[in-house]
Amino acid sequence: MAQRPEAKARRVADDPEGPSGVAQARVLVIEDDTDIRLLVGRELRALGHTVDAVGLAEEGLFAARATEYGLMIVDLGLPDGDGLDLVRELRRRGIAAPVLMLTARRKVEDRVAGLSSGADDYLVKPFALAELRARVAALLRRPTRLRESRFAVGNLVVDCDALEAVVGGVSLPLARKQFRLLELLARRRNHMTPKHMIEEALYGYDDDVSANSIEAHVSKLRRVLRAAGVAAVIETRRGIGYRLADGEPPRDG
Ligand code: CA
């Protein structure tokens, strides 16, 4: 990360007031063609989604690491990198949101390469907006790795449908925020979860989050896990974040 895409990536087109009652997703669009980027963004916002749009692979990687997206739309040919490499990198970092690749290339080999790199679907430019809408709707409906609802980490089972964490048949006494924290860490098990991602998962945009509140939640959660005899541990990487480790060597960093 040599430059500073932060502000742009985080704040572009953030519209918290979409129409209520619509199944909304937060969507990241990574596309350097301004016309297409604006068009896709406008279309998705009209459907009630929140859209962050960037034009560079580097900005896209930053945004995807900072925010949990329900869907990412990635152009294959970006000025500072290949969209396929970007998707591979996202997957390597444990980011499992569905990816719709956009490309002007029509060859079948490209389609196969795109899908095997971790993209979930493919849209060839130029595309009709109706087709974009259909693909987006299908990907948002499709259960993804991110939306798995049960995670086993060592002897701990986190059941996101039952809102329950269980060890040896016993349900752990967790407050709501502690459960959400555990759920997030379990989804990203063995990967580092940055602090700001935890803040976004636990708090709304308008909440005041004190510097120590995440640490306080983590230390309470640790106490509960230890008391219940959970084998997995929450590791701290100072200034960066936390990792729920089941004993495997770290894959990040
Ligand atoms: Ca392009």
Tell me, what CATH number does 192's domain have?
A: 1.10.10.10
d(CA 4, CA 164): 40
For residue 152, the CA-to-ligand 1 centroid distance in Å is: 40
How many angstroms separate the alpha carbon of residue 9 from the centre of ligand 1?
A: 18
Examine residue 4 and state whether it is found in any structural domain, yes or no: no
Q: Would residue 155 count as lying in a domain? A: yes
Tens digit of pLDDT at every position of the chain (253 positions): 444 444 444 433 333 333 433 468 999 999 999 999 999 999 999 999 999 999 999 999 999 988 889 999 999 999 999 998 999 888 877 788 899 999 876 665 666 666 767 788 888 888 999 999 999 998 988 765 545 677 888 888 888 878 889 988 889 999 888 998 998 898 888 888 888 888 877 876 567 777 688 999 999 999 999 999 998 999 999 888 999 998 544 444 4
Phi-psi region of 229 (alpha: psi -120 to 50; beta: other; left: phi over 0): left
Ion ligand 1: residues, Cβ under 5 Å: 32, 75, 77
**d(C-alpha 61, C-alpha 90), whole Å:** 7
Q: What is the DSSP string of 45-102?
A: HHTT-EEEEESSHHHHHHHHHHS--SEEEEESEETTEEHHHHHHHHHHTT----EEEE
In the reported structure, the alpha carbon of residue 197 is separated from the centroid of ligand 1 by a whole-number distance in angstroms of: 28
CA dihedral 200, 205, 207, 211 (to 10 degrees): 50
Compute, in angstroms, the gap from residue 75 CA to the centroid of ligand 1.
6
Q: pTM of this prediction? A: 0.53
Give yes or no: residues 234 and 132 share one domain: no
Q: How many CB atoms lie within 10 A of CB 162?
A: 12
Q: Residue 74 Cα, ligand 1 centroid: separation in angstroms?
A: 9
Give me the number of domains the chain comprises: 2
Question: Tell me, what CATH number does 21's domain have?
Answer: 3.40.50.2300
